[in-house]
């Protein structure tokens, strides 16, 4: 019996770790889908709720940024091949966001390099790279 317990403990720990990763991965998929839906259908400003609160505190969007978000409507959100894991708690994703200016009806696209981080304590994925910059030039 002495030799059976350690392998069982190792197997149980591996199984729990695998389950934790599954929960984290499911949470990532849910968060990325919710974020893209919010941005696509409710506007860029609605995506701010997914940005890490510490990032928002350090770099709050200006009144000008918020006004720009109101001035455009997202026409396409293309996450390409999806997220790429950097480690167990971070993923990166490159997204093409197309938007139409409500005043001019001109359409533009920007490429956004997103960094998402999993907060173990909150059990939540946060957008670390901040909200998209509509004029990255």
What pLDDT is recorded for position 1?
A: 42
Would 81 be classed as within a structural domain? yes
Is residue 8 over pLDDT 80? no
d(CA 125, CA 118): 4
Tens digits of per-residue pLDDT, 84-125?
Answer: 999 999 999 999 999 999 999 999 999 999 999 999 999 999
Would 15 be classed as within a structural domain? yes
d(CA 85, CA 64): 33
Tens digits of per-residue pLDDT, 50-72?
Answer: 999 999 999 999 999 999 999 99
SS3 114: strand
d(CA 113, CA 117): 13
Number of domains, the chain: 1
pTM of full prediction above 0.85? no
Domain that holds residue 92: 5-127
Asked whether the beta carbons of 56 and 128 are under 8 A apart, the reply is no
Q: Which CATH number fits the domain that encloses residue 40? A: 3.10.450.100
């Amino acid at each position: 019996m002495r030799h059976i317990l350690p392998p069982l403990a190792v197997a149980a720990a591996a199984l729990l770790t695998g389950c934790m990763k599954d929960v984290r991965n499911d949470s990532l998929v849910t968060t990325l889908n919710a974020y893209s839906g919010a941005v696509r259908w409710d506007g860029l400003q609605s995506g701010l709720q997914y940005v890490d609160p510490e990032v928002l505190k350090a770099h709050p969007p200006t009144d000008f940024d918020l006004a720009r978000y109101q001035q455009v409507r997202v026409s396409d959100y293309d996450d390409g091949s999806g997220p790429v894991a950097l480690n167990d708690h971070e993923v990166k994703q490159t997204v093409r966001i197309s938007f139409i200016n409500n005043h001019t009806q001109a359409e533009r696209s920007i490429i956004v390099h997103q960094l998402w981080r999993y907060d173990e304590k909150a059990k939540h994925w946060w957008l670390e790279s901040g909200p998209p910059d509509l004029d990255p030039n």
